[in-house]
Homo-oligomer: A and B are copies of this chain.
Amino acid sequence: MYGFGVDIGGTTVKMGLFTENGDLSEKWEIPTRTRDEGREILPDIAASLKGHISSCGLKAREIRGVGVGVPAPVSGDGIVKGTANLGWGHKEVGRELRELTGLKVKVQNDANAAALGEMWKGSARGSTDLVMITLGTGIGGGIITQGHVLLGSEGAAGEIGHITVNYNESEHCGCGGRGCLEQYASATGIARLARKKIAELKKDGGHIATALPDAGDITAKDVFDAVKAGDKTACEIADEFGRYLGYALANVAAVVNPAVIVIGGGVSKAGDVILKFIEPYYRQRAVFSNKKTSFVIAKLGNDAGIYGAAKLIFSD
């Protein structure tokens, strides 16, 4: 039995063909055409799926269905109310793709799908209670409890990036709020911390004892590369990142009591070194029952979404 996992992003749609055991037998991608309110996205996906079904010679009875991850909250019945970067307003993704393909379709938020993927075949294998946080341009969160995605009343659970972590912040977050975790722990947030730190050092005058590039385009990767080289300033920036993130995750854990916390997204590519900055702050603030929660770096990278989307189909 086969199933498709589809992960719709703002630029590309990633697609994979999986066996029931979670073996990825093929993967490919197509561009996300967001023009005209994104009306071509689902027909493009349907055409691509049909093309692959016929080129692989798959029979209808061999296909369990299609799981889809979308960058937006999803109601239990596969409905999206609006998206930031696909052009969609209210969209019945499940129904439309079902009609276009004739296949069974399950839809889930992409961060939730990534969490399911890491549970199924990634670094949280064997756990049924986990929090996955994706540190990319923004911050995504997916929570699995007793093996199921925590949805919330409107499919908007797991918005970990918009937990307020600093009530004195004067700059605004993309969401309109101030002091959101995303402002300190996303890739852009880390770059922002770095720019502020360097500006501070400059203001103090004197020699800036750091190997960090003294430029507006400093990245999170620059910071963790310098951390690995032992740069003191970079370590101070990473420490600030880790404090905000560790404290925030301790509060998230108080709410959902996970066994495992999975750190994914571009920032996590720096590897285990980031955990050294997060875990001590987490353990300092975690309630007794969460002191032992383990931290792991996500393993599936950009494929977590297609794995989790496929899992939606197989676990039904």
Contacts and interface: CB of A to CB of B under 8 A. Distances in A.
A71 interface: no
Interface residues of A, number: 42
A127 B257 CA distance: 23
Interface in A216-273: 247, 250-252, 254-259
B146 A129 contact: no
Q: How many copies does the complex hold?
A: 2
Contact of A251 (B150, B151, B164, B258): B164
Interface string A275-290: 0000000000101111
Contact of A177 (B141, B146, B164, B285): B285
B254 A160 contact: yes
A287 B157 CA distance: 11
Contacts of A256: 150, 152, 157, 255-256
Given A73-B289, A285-B177, A257 B155 contact: yes
Max chain B Cβ within 10 angstroms of own Cβ: one of A146, A150, A252, A254: A254
Interface of A: 73, 76, 127-129, 141, 143, 145-146, 150-160, 162-164, 167, 175-177, 247, 250-252, 254-259, 285, 287-290
